[in-house]
Amino acid sequence: MKLNNKRTVFIGLAFMSICAFWQVYDNIVPLILENSFGLSSAATGAIMGIDNILALFLLPLFGWLSDRTSTRIGRRMPYIVFGTLVAAVGFVMLLVAEQAESLVWFMIILSVVLIAMSTYRSAAVALMPDVTIKPLRSKANALINLLGAIGGALVLGATPLLVRESDNGDNYFPLFSALSAFMIISVVILFIKIQEKVCVEEMREESAKYGIDETSDDVDASGEKTRMPPAVRKSFLLILFSIFLWFMGYNAVTTGFTRYAENIWQQGVGNASLILMVAQIAAILSYIPVGMLATKIGRRKTIMMGIIMLTVAFGASVMFYDFSYFMFVFFALAGIAWAFINVNSYPMVVEMSKGPNIGKYTGYYYFFSMTAQSITPFISGFLVDSTREIPGMGWRTLFPYGALFVALSFITMLFVKHGDSRPVAPASKLESFDVDD
C-alpha cells in the first residue's frame, strides 16, 4: 500500500493556489481599502471579515452540492475549474475598480471573488480523500499542507519583487496578475493530469482489495436509509468540537501576537513577525514526518501529542514578561504541534464518511474551524479590553486563553473512539516486505 505522491502533488496544486490567494488577499486588500478608498480600520476590518462569514455557510453548501454533482469530468472538477477561473479574473478586476476610484464596483467584484473562492474550496479539499485510500490520507494531507505552505511562502517572497511604487501609490497589478496566472496554470495542470472519475474508481478498487468499505452510508442493501451508528456519531461530534476548541486557542494567539509583542514587550512588528515565521517554518518541516508518524501510531495519538505540545508552548510563553529569544523555541514547538494536529484532523473527519458524502463532511470540518476563527479574535480581544485595569491582565490573558482552549480539546479527544486510520492486512505476502510507503 503506497501513496501515489505524484498524483497527490497534482491534486495539491488547487490547495496551493488557494493558500497563495489568501496570502495576497490578507496582505494587500486591507491596504487598498485604507489607502485608496480612505476607509477606517474598523470598516476595513469589517470588510475583511466577510470571507469568514461567507465561508460558514458556503463551504458546507458547496461541499454538499459537489457530492450530488455528476458530470463527464467528475464531481469536484467543475467547481474547481469554474471557481478558480472566476476568482482569478475577478481578482485582477479589483484593481480596475481601484483605478476608477469606485468603492461600489470594488465591493461588487470583491463579493464575486469571495463567493467564487467559496464555491471550490471544499471541492478542492475533498478531491484528496476522493482518490486516496483511507489509511494513507494523513500522509496525503501532510503533502497537501506542505504545498499550501509553499504557495504562501512563494507569494511572500514575490510580493516585494512585484509591487511597484508609483506617483499614485503602490502598483499591485504585477503581483495580482502573477497570482491570477499561477491560479489558472495550477488548475489547468490539475485538469490535464487528473482524470477524476478514473482516479476515484482506482481508489474504490484499491479499497475493495483491502476490505475497506467506500460505498454510500446513506442507504443499506435493501434501499432503506441508514443513520450513522450512535457510537460513531458521538466520536464525530467530539472531533468537530475538538477542532472548534483548538482553533479557538491557536487562532487567538496567532492573530493577536503582534499586538501582544507591541504592548507587553514593546517590540515592533519585525520581531513579532519573525517569531511567527519560525512557527510556520517549523510546521512546514514537520508536515511529512508527521504524516508518516500518524500512519504508524494512529491519527488520534498523534493529535493528542500535538495538543500537549501546543498547550506547553502557549503555557510556557506566559512566563516571559520581557522579550526573550526563548520565544523562538516555544513558537517552533507550537508550529510543530500545529502540524501534528492539523495534518490529522481533517482525515479523521472524513474517515467517518463514505465516498459519496466526503464533500458534506468536508463542509462540516470547515464550518467548525471557520466558526472558531471568526469569533475567537473578538472574544479574546474583549477579554483583553475588559481586564486592562487589572494588574497582570490585559494582553497577558492572551496566552492563558490560548492554552486553556487547546487543553480543553485534549479532554474532548479522550472520548473520540472512531476516525482513526485502521491497519489493514497486506493484499499479498510480498507486500508485507514493502517498507517504502
Spell out the domain ranges in the chain. 5-209, 230-421
Of 41 and 47, more confident: 47
203-215 burial by CB neighbour count: b if 16+ within 10 A, else e?
bbebbeeeeeebe
154-196 tens-digit pLDDT? 887 888 888 877 656 668 899 999 999 999 999 999 999 999 9
CATH of 230-421, picked from 3.30.565.10, 3.90.1150.10, 1.10.10.60, 1.20.1250.20, is: 1.20.1250.20
Average pLDDT over residues 239-265: 88
With 90 as the cut, is the pLDDT of residue 333 above it?
A: yes
- Choose the most confident range, by mean pLDDT, from 271-280, 312-321, 326-335: 326-335
Average pLDDT over residues 5-26: 92
Topology, domain 5-209: Growth Hormone; Chain: A; (1.20.1250)
Task: Tell me whether the CATH fold assigned to 5-209 matches the one assigned to 230-421.
Answer: yes
Is residue 339 very low, low, confident or very high in pLDDT (cuts 50, 70, 90)?
A: very high
Q: Mean pLDDT of all residues in the chain? A: 85
- Nearest partner of 250 among 130, 406, 114, judged by Cα: 406
Of 169 and 243, more confident: 243
Q: How many CA atoms are closer than 13 Å to the CA of 147, on its beta-carbon side?
A: 22
pLDDT of 169: 62
With 60 as the cut, is the pLDDT of residue 223 above it?
A: no
Which grid cell is 195?
A: 482524470
pLDDT of 228: 77
Q: Which residues contact 262 (CB under 8 A, 6 or more apart)?
A: 268, 269, 272
pLDDT of 355: 64
86-137 tens-digit pLDDT? 999 999 999 999 999 999 999 999 999 999 999 999 999 999 999 999 888 8
Q: Considering only 184-193, 303-312, 389-398, 405-414, which range has the smallest mean pLDDT?
A: 389-398
Average pLDDT over residues 17-35: 87
With 60 as the cut, is the pLDDT of residue 224 above it?
A: no
How many residues does the structure list for the chain?
437
Is residue 428 very low, low, confident or very high in pLDDT (cuts 50, 70, 90)?
A: very low
Which grid cell is 20?
A: 497563495
163 three-class SS: coil
Strand partners, 219: 225
pLDDT of 380: 85
Maximal C-alpha separation, the chain: 72
Q: Considering only 32-41, 100-109, 321-330, 360-369, which range has the smallest mean pLDDT?
A: 321-330
pLDDT of 268: 67
pTM to 2 decimal places? 0.80
pLDDT of 351: 84
Share of the chain above pLDDT 90, in %: 45
Strand partners, 146: none
Share of the chain above pLDDT 70, in %: 90
pLDDT of 77: 95
With 90 as the cut, is the pLDDT of residue 217 above it?
A: no
228-233: which pairs have CB atoms within 8 A and are 24 or more residues apart?
228/352, 231/417, 231/418, 232/352, 232/418
pLDDT of 226: 59
Q: How many CB atoms lie within 10 A of CB 40?
A: 10
Residues 39 and 47: beta-carbon distance below 8 Å: yes
Is residue 84 very low, low, confident or very high in pLDDT (cuts 50, 70, 90)?
A: very high
